[in-house]
Structure 1
């Protein structure tokens, strides 16, 4: 089992590298054909034929901080993860200062991608989508780096828009939204950007649209994440004053959130919960649960009250760097980043104080898998279309 991912249920096997797919901006609720078309290892089956359930699908997410891969097989009500990989590479290290990806960071990412390439090949994956997010979007040498990745690993990654990233997060977490609520405020705190999405369940779905991503009312992508914020303010020694400075920086960004006043009213009315997908919120949940070792199965789907979140925020901000390293749900790789993530979350919570928070140890990769499998019609014969449940 990888440190914060899935336990592979079978041994890895061989296949071919993925080919590129175009990436274009499009509406969050209704992705364009270019956005819906993932990279693939070989030509996709004819549109009118659903993919066989034996087909393996893969989703790779190269972010500012992590390189993550999931390989899964469709099941009647979702999919089964058969292999996974996650490694902290800090690709976006220093990008906020220099505007460029550093050589050491690129080397770390390429090394991780070679592992992913081997897993894709060993498993014989037939359908894959391989994406890069904020680090490659914002760095002036991001596209050049992806050419190097293609040359050295055979993997063709697409740089996705912030809109696409927001939609994929919703697709990946859809089954964790309380259907009896008025909706959810989803946040995804990344390394270089943070997505915030209002899913409004009070408005009826139009026609036969059933995807949760079709219920997105509005969204925003904040140009800040745990890597960029900690680089600006410091991540090892974080005083109360430093923490408040980070919160204030993010709070200023939230002033421009679309339909902010309407969201204020929805939160005040109650029955709208937060849904968090990021290392920050899963860390909070792990500490809340008192885990001796991080356990995704216990963390994913956990509910926390506002008071419980407050207690955990106070616990984490009260830890010094050594204590954060020693905590089994944080560790050395996240110890200098977790308080920046807490500051981003705190800014969101102060602006929109929802009384419930649900924790998701899932996100972009699961969203990619759900969208590819839906596009291939793997669940068409099932009377109960799922929302991204894994097993």
Structure 2
């Protein structure tokens, strides 16, 4: 079976997945990599990627390049998001990445990022749902997509997006502005107000009347919501199999946010589902989540430990027709490639 690869260099993380298609709409991960690199550290203040942040990211990308080089990859798409988009030296950094790692990264726009998040989480949208708000709280931006599904559900869920927005705020930028280490109820509310002001400018009609709880729900894909789920389950260490697809009630989300807000930095860092690398970011993520919940109240939220990489893989495999019975397949090509040959960007 052919192998596909997806790499996502974000504001906070560098992530790689290499996968093989299996049953229709599904794939098996054969290799992966994830490292917190904080590429966007200090970007909000300076407008530029710092030398330390770029060095950390290049070292992580070298590991990704080695993994890709050891496998016969049919298609790969390697993307960079908000930090590279927003930085004055973002394009120059992409040139450095190419020179030092051999990887050609594509800086995607915000609409593409929103659509990829939807594609990656498509299987978590309940079959009974008629409307969904899906959000991806990133390090430097937060993408939100409103989907109205109705009776005729497309095989590509991104086709049901009626409205989307990309907020120029994420866990890194918000925590840097408000302080993520020592968060008080007052500073937490200040973060919520900032994000709510951005959402007020999002021109999107309200969700039509929800007649049953199954008609509408939220889907969250980010370290924030997976962290909340891990804390809720009281996991001794993070376990994706327990978290991905978990349903949380509105009351459970509120309880978890209140619990995290009651902990000091040391307590957050000591929690195995948070750790010291995320302890100063998680409450900024909770503030973004709370602003979204206030804009679109819902009785339940589904947790997704998946996102852009899964969206990239799903779309490449669908475009190649690997899940169509009896379809011919393109000959394999070795080596990582950019997304220039992709027919769709989402």
Q: Same fold (TM over 0.5)?
A: yes
- Aligned partner of 1:125 among 61, 69, 73: 73
- 5 Å-filtered alignment, 1:308-323, equals 308-323=252-267
In 2 relative to 1, CA 382–357 (structure 1 residues): closer, same or farther, beyond 3 Å? farther
Gaps of at least 5 residues in structure 2 are 328-346
Aligned match of 2:334:
none
Q: Secondary structure at 1:186's aligned position in 2?
A: strand
Q: 2:277 & 2:325 partners in 1: Cα distance?
A: 44
Deviation at 1:124, TM superposition (A): 2.5
Aligned match of 1:71:
18
1:246 pairs with 2:191: yes
- 5 Å-filtered alignment, 1:1-391, equals 54-77=1-24, 78-202=26-150, 204=152, 209-259=154-204, 261-263=205-207, 265-266=208-209, 271-381=215-325
Q: 1:307 & 1:294 partners in 2: Cα distance?
A: 22
Q: 1:131 & 1:72 partners in 2: Cα distance?
A: 17
Deviation at 1:256, TM superposition (A): 1.7
Q: Secondary structure at 1:71's aligned position in 2?
A: strand
Deviation at 1:362, TM superposition (A): 0.3
Q: 1:203 & 1:138 partners in 2: Cα distance?
A: 39
Gaps of at least 5 residues in structure 1 are 1-53, 384-391
TM-score, normalising length from structure 1? 0.81
In 2 relative to 1, CA 361–382 (structure 1 residues): closer, same or farther, beyond 3 Å? farther
Instruction: Please give the root-mean-square deviation of Cα atoms over the aligned residues, in Å.
Output: 1.4
Deviation at 1:126, TM superposition (A): 2.6
Q: 1:163 & 1:203 partners in 2: Cα distance?
A: 25
Deviation at 1:57, TM superposition (A): 0.4
Deviation at 1:203, TM superposition (A): 6.0
Q: In the alignment, is the contact (CA less than 8 A) between 1:166 and 1:197 conserved in 2?
A: yes
Query: How many pairs were matched up?
Result: 325
In 2 relative to 1, CA 267–254 (structure 1 residues): closer, same or farther, beyond 3 Å? farther
User: Any idea what the Cα deviations from partners look like across 1:116-141, whole Å, max 9, x if unmatched?
Assistant: 00000112223100000000000010
Q: 2:297 & 2:39 partners in 1: Cα distance?
A: 33
Q: Secondary structure at 1:262's aligned position in 2?
A: coil
Q: In the alignment, is the contact (CA less than 8 A) between 1:267 and 1:352 conserved in 2?
A: no
Which structure 1 residue ranges, 4+ long, deviate > 6 Å from structure 2?
none
